[in-house]
Amino acid sequence: MMSRQKRQTLQLLRNTVRLVAPPPQIGIDEWADEHRVLSPESSAEPGPWKTDRAPYQREPMRAISDPGVEKVILMWAAQLGKTDLQLNTIGYFTGHDPAPIMVVQPDLMVARDFSNDRLTPMYRDSPQLSKLVVKDKSRDSRNTILYKSFPGGRINIAGANSPASLASKPIRVVIADEIDRFPVSAGKEGDPVSLVTARTKTFYNKKLVFVSTPTIKGASRIEELYEDSTMELLHLPCPSCDELQPLEWAQLKFEYDKETNQCIKVGHACKFCGALHAEHEWKKDYAKRAVWIAQKKHASVRGFRLSALYATINVTWESIVNDFYTAKRGGPEQLKTFLNTVLAESWEEKGEQLDEDVLLNRREMYHADVPDGVKVLTAAVDTQDDRFEVEVQGWGAGHENWHIQYHVIYGDLKQPQVWADLDAFLKRTWADAEGRKFPIAFTCMDSGGHFTNEVYRFCKLRADRRIFAIKGEGTGDGTRLPLIIGTSTNNRYKATVVRLGVDEGKSKVMSALKTPMVDENGFKMQGYCHFPLSTPDRNRGYERQYFEGLTAEALHTRQKMGVPYQVWVKVRARNEPLDLAVYNRAAIEILQPDLENMQPFCMGAVSGGGSASANTRKKGVASKGIQI
């Protein structure tokens, strides 16, 4: 007969073992199916999570919770539930296998949005988690937007651009989202991916999850990581011959009505028997029949690549074909986005530098100052010590672009006359074949150089004419700022200064210059750039020197701390035409006019012909991009 003291000792031992024993081994998918609740803020169908609704997520989640796997790479297209998969991982390492977690977003702003919009609602609405994560009930609470604690662990939400948020602290689980958008270096600390990886060294059971859509071949972090993994592709059996194979864009066969811009029929051809089957046939019994197959062996790293062809919610093959044709009409920049975000493939830059002779020989005869098709004019001003260089451009439906005039105003910028000459030029109008006169709707003026305050004063006095100072910004390390970053009024004249991401602007300009007028089927492409021939009585300014300046920079791949990145490099000394093309591109993006439907922004016809009323003109070029 066991004594009472022995029984108490044995019970205490059992309780102690329960506390220190590892949790039962279940996968993240099983945990999510039992405990995760989708929040109304982030789901069209809130309620219990069901992995079978997106069955391609099951194996990657199991890989993350597999003790034998250290690193998981997800090179995935958009709209495939990448964020929910990450949230399930966070929930698992909060409620089932508690651990210190770090989630890294491209920057702190995105990190805060992720915490507020996705993480906090999950913790609130999933019953198991809501009991564990301490709510912010007092000013003394340790929980903040970027930090939350729970029994056995904590979660830090960091920005890859912030060295402080990546500061040294032991982390067992790292989740890095959209790593192809990470800066090359977090301040002066080095590659953010390497920094967060180093935080896990003290844990034998560490987990590293890297997620992203790919970007440019040779400079894509996620592609480099994927190629050093098992490189798994999801296979489905052919409905006819049952042979397993991945879904591939090349095997998609479709009919597209170019009058209605709609895909009317689409199927996927089997690589083995050639049978063509519809989407619902390939995805029948998806959860039971789909299987991930590795292309390589790797001891501790599993990689999964997934295109939008596998989507089960909100995306269909018909919509993908429609997106492809929209991107194709939009030119290289939109095709790049389609390849990255829909097919989960990196984009290979072809022809790093444009040939000035090709553009020079492309010039055409305009039959008026403003050709047919132009809806609105913009202008750009480059400020030098002894001159202003000005370019006027026209814009039409589909962002078709006409270069109207390149003009240089020489003079000493310390004297008022050259500023008066610039003002007079920007007040000019340009006429079309019907005699309608087009004013400049928006002007971007460079404020760099030695006359910054003078530019601010000039623009402040002419804000009602939409003449605004701009300030170009670049990181120098390949990190792409958006073309329109924002505005500032922090100057002595309180003038509005528009901040521009010039690297992104140059990429957009170069992509437009590469866009052909028509595709291989003879259909008109969006965004084609026209250049005029000068005439004996009119020099429009588009001679060889202009095209040498327009092509004066090339995109080069460099490395910093072992991380490849792309940067624009001057190959000729004079690049003012390229800068002005960027500023004009910024001007039309700030305006965001309805180029498809608006009436021409003009001042009326000399005789006959329709013109827009003052109200229509104001509505047509209303600034919707940023508040100015």
Place of tokens 């001159």: 387
What is the C-alpha to C-alpha distance for residues 600 and 606, in angstroms, rounded to an integer? 15
pLDDT value of residue 212: 96
Please say if the pLDDT value at position 619 is more than 50: no
Same domain flag for 300 and 403 = no
Residue 142, domain member (yes or no): yes
pLDDT value of residue 76: 97
Same domain flag for 301 and 389 = no
3-state secondary structure of 367: coil
pLDDT value of residue 218: 80
What is the C-alpha to C-alpha distance for residues 448 and 470, in angstroms, rounded to an integer? 8
Residue 126, domain member (yes or no): yes
pLDDT value of residue 191: 83
Same domain flag for 571 and 469 = yes
pLDDT digit string (tens) for 219-277? 899 999 999 999 999 999 999 999 999 999 999 999 998 888 899 999 999 999 999 99
Same domain flag for 379 and 518 = yes
Q: How many structural domains are present in the chain?
A: 2
- Domain of 165, CATH number, reads 3.40.50.300
pLDDT value of residue 138: 45
Same domain flag for 219 and 361 = no
pLDDT value of residue 616: 35
In this prediction, residue 172 has a pLDDT band, given cuts at 50, 70 and 90, of very high
- How does the average pLDDT of the chain come out, rounded? 87
What is the C-alpha to C-alpha distance for residues 467 and 487, in angstroms, rounded to an integer? 14
Same domain flag for 118 and 195 = yes
The angle formed by the CA atoms of residues 90, 95 and 99, to the nearest 5 degrees, is 65
Q: Which of 268, 286, 306 is the last residue of a domain?
A: 306
Residue 273, domain member (yes or no): no
Same domain flag for 475 and 603 = yes
- Domain of 469, CATH number, reads 3.30.420
Residue 579, domain member (yes or no): yes
Residue 330, domain member (yes or no): no
Residues in the chain: 628
Same domain flag for 402 and 545 = yes
**Range(s) of the domain holding residue 214:** 59-231+296-306
Same domain flag for 497 and 431 = yes
Same domain flag for 140 and 201 = yes
Average pLDDT over residues 470-486: 81
Residue 422, domain member (yes or no): yes
Same domain flag for 562 and 426 = yes
Residue 368, domain member (yes or no): yes
Please say if the pLDDT value at position 574 is more than 60: yes
Q: Exposed, middle or buried by CB within 10 Å (0-12, 13-18, 19+), for 40?
A: exposed
Residue 41, domain member (yes or no): no
**Measuring CA to CA, which residue among 374, 361, 497 is closest to residue 430?**
374
Same domain flag for 399 and 301 = no
pLDDT digit string (tens) for 541-557? 999 999 999 998 887 77
